[in-house]
Amino acid sequence: MSDANLQQTIASFNLRHYDAAARHSAEGLSAAQGRDEVFWCGLNETCEGYALLMSGRFDHAEAKLVAAMQKLRNFGFQYNNFEVTGALAGIRLAVAEIRAVRGQHKRVFDMSLLPQFSLAAKADD
């Protein structure tokens, strides 16, 4: 797994540059094999989903984010130092918010709910 692509993906995502994060995650996906390929696919769908969300395409964003959750939920708490549970919690919250807006229970998407990705803290020896 490419640590550089993962770090670039996380940095772009956290700056809310979702299109750039999707490009970095696509680069990681193109070099991935086996279990890493599923992880990168889920991460890429997450980034693409948030890019669609920011452009107001809620239907497509919801589909991407649900597909991302289905892939990432199989990786436990963390995978290669990436905090999967935090990402999944943020994605779930975004999907719920999208559904509330689409169902007209809310007027606008609450942008304060946009998650941050993170790497697991490394323990000191």
CATH of the domain at 49: 1.10.3450.10
In a domain, 122, yes or no: no
Indicate whether 124 pLDDT > 80.
no
The number of beta carbons lying within 10 Å of the beta carbon of residue 67 is 16
Residue 122's pLDDT is 62
Average pLDDT over residues 98-125: 80
Q: Which helix (H) or strand (E) holds 6?
A: helix 3-14
Question: Domain tally for the chain?
Answer: 1
pLDDT of residue 94: 93
The Cα 90–Cα 97 span in angstroms is: 11
Tally DSSP H helices, then E strands, for the chain.
5, 2
Q: What is the pLDDT of residue 33?
A: 93
Residue 121 falls within a domain, yes or no? no
Domain membership of residue 125 (yes or no) is no
**Above pLDDT 90, what percent of the chain?**
72
Q: What is the mean pLDDT of residues 13-40?
A: 95
Rg value, the chain, Cα:
14
Whole-model pTM: value is: 0.90
**DSSP state, 107?**
S
Looking at residue 114, its pLDDT comes to 86
Whether 91 maps to a domain, the answer reads yes
